[in-house]
Amino acid sequence: MTTTHSTRTRIFSLGVLAALSAGMLSACAQTPSPASAAQPPARALTLLPGPMPSAPLQPTNAVGEYDSERGVLLLIEDGGHLWLIDTSRASPARIPLWTKESMTAGADGYPIRAGNIAVRRRDVGPRAGTSQLQLRPVRPVADVRVEALAATPPAEPRAAHATDLVELTTLDSTIRLEIRYATSNNFLGTRFYDEARAFMQRPAAEAVVRANQALRTLGYGLLVHDAYRPWYVTKMFWDATPADKHWLVANPAEGSKHNRGAAVDLTLFDLASGVPVEMPSTYDESTGRAFADYPGGTSLQRWHRALLRRAMEAEGFEQNPSEWWHYDFRSWHDYAIGNVPFDRIQR
């Protein structure tokens, strides 16, 4: 998806987020374990967002968002310990929960009291056993598809650069794909792509390859969820998404950076295990946890998010403030909106 940052209603104000984010990565010194025994190059080491957090000293299964009479509270892990953050205050207070006596567990094992504050866990989702929050389409997607395929992208001035879409895995076979829109495991629960492939404009694709190669020396690889997206799919998203959720998707009247082949949705996976790392939210999640500066979660989740950001920014990408997984290439405006399906892109 593509979020319109200026129109999104935030759970937490920017001031609160900035104040909370400061010092969030404090932890015991520990370096990542690369898949190979070789020492990472000095340039790759500069990507590390501080020491890798050690294992928490307290269980983290209660980490999450809670409702209270004060408003929304965050239970986070930082520096190995649990903290309760009161986001309703102008200067957010961090209440340490360092002892068992600080938390009273309810029947489901989660705290119903934290210190002197009564709390109730928010059901943010996604539900157990799934990896994707979903919306109910407002119209049958089959009908929307017919209309979108018959529609025409908006007219624009001649682009500065000719389109030169290349397949990421052709340039670097170690980049992994999990193209959600080629499955029903996406925010609208419907398959939009016929093929699970990822294309980008050549300079952007080469930059992703460089980021992946740098991360591999640190023990991580890139897992791509989406890249170039034909314009008609953007129109399908818009027409099928509830009006109050239109901030989740790009307006087809303007096109998106994905349509130009200059945006990519991606995350990290661990080379040793092959498993995607944990981030503060799931991919394509329509909650405040998706914000690039969301202060919740665990130290390691925030560390992973920061590592991905540093690796991508080092290669000329800019992170979408409302989606930690979404990165726009610096010269996106030099390319035209594309509407060519994957199977018609020149090999």
pLDDT of residue 203: 98
Please indicate, yes or no, if residue 134 is contained in any of the structural domains. Answer: no
Which string of DSSP letters, residue by residue, matches 62-116? T-EEEEETTEEEEEEEETTEEEEEETTSSS-EEEEE-SGGGEEE-TTSSEEEETT
26 and 172 fall within a common domain:
no
On whether residue 2 sits in a domain, the answer given is no
Cis peptide before 126 (omega within 30 of 0): yes
Residue finishing a domain among 121, 153, 173: 121
Identify the pLDDT of residue 220.
Answer: 98
10-residue mean pLDDT series, the chain (347 residues): 44 34 37 56 91 82 84 88 81 67 50 66 73 83 96 93 96 98 92 97 98 98 98 97 87 96 98 96 89 94 98 97 96 96 89
Query: Residue 160 falls within a domain, yes or no?
Result: yes
**Cα angle 92, 94, 96; round to 5:** 170
Give the pLDDT of residue 147: 97
**Residue 18 located in a structural domain:** yes
Number of Cβ within a 10 Å radius of residue 23: 10
C-alpha Rg value of the chain to the nearest Å: 21
| CA 124/CA 136 separation, integer angstroms | 16
Residue 162 lies in a domain: yes
- Looking at the structure, do residues 245 and 278 belong to the same domain, yes or no? yes
- Does 157 lie in the same domain as 113? no
pLDDT at 85: 86
Q: Show the domain range for 72.
A: 12-121
Based on the domain organization, do 17 and 59 belong to the same domain?
yes
Q: Is residue 132 part of a domain?
A: no
CB atoms under 10 Å from CB of 103, counted, come to 21
Residue 89 lies in a domain: yes
The structure tokens 């998404």 sit at: 241
The pLDDT score that the predictor gives to residue 328 is: 98
Same domain, 145 and 29: no
Q: Domain count of the chain?
A: 2
110 shares its domain with 149: no
Q: Are strands 323-329 and 71-78 parallel, antiparallel or unpaired?
A: unpaired
Which DSSP string do the residues of 9-21 spell out, in sequence order? PPSS-HHHHHHHH
| Same-domain check for residues 155 and 115 | no
Would residue 215 count as lying in a domain? yes
pLDDT of residue 123: 80
Predicted pLDDT of residue 34: 45
58 plus 188 within the same structural domain: no
d(Cα 206, Cα 191) in Å, to the nearest integer?
Answer: 28
CA-wise closest residue to 154 among 260, 311, 79: 260
Which of these, 333, 300, 344, 320, lies nearest to 25 by C-alpha position? 300
User: Exposure of 186 by Cβ count < 10 A (0-12 exposed, 13-18 middle, 19+ buried)?
Assistant: buried
Q: 328 phi and psi, to 5 degrees?
A: -105, 135
Return the DSSP state at 253: T
Non-local (6+) Cβ contacts of 85 within 8 A are: 20, 73, 74, 75, 76, 92, 93, 94, 95, 295, 296
CB burial readout 257-285, b (16+ within 10 A) else e: bbbbbbbbbbbbbbbeeeebbebbbbbbb
The model carries a pTM of 0.85
Examine the domain organization and report whether 171 and 284 are in the same domain: yes
Q: Which residue has the tokens 């890798």?
A: 52
Give yes or no: residues 158 and 251 share one domain: yes
pLDDT at residue 199 in the model? 98
Supply the CATH number for residue 273's domain: 3.30.1380.10
**Do residues 185 and 303 share a domain?**
yes
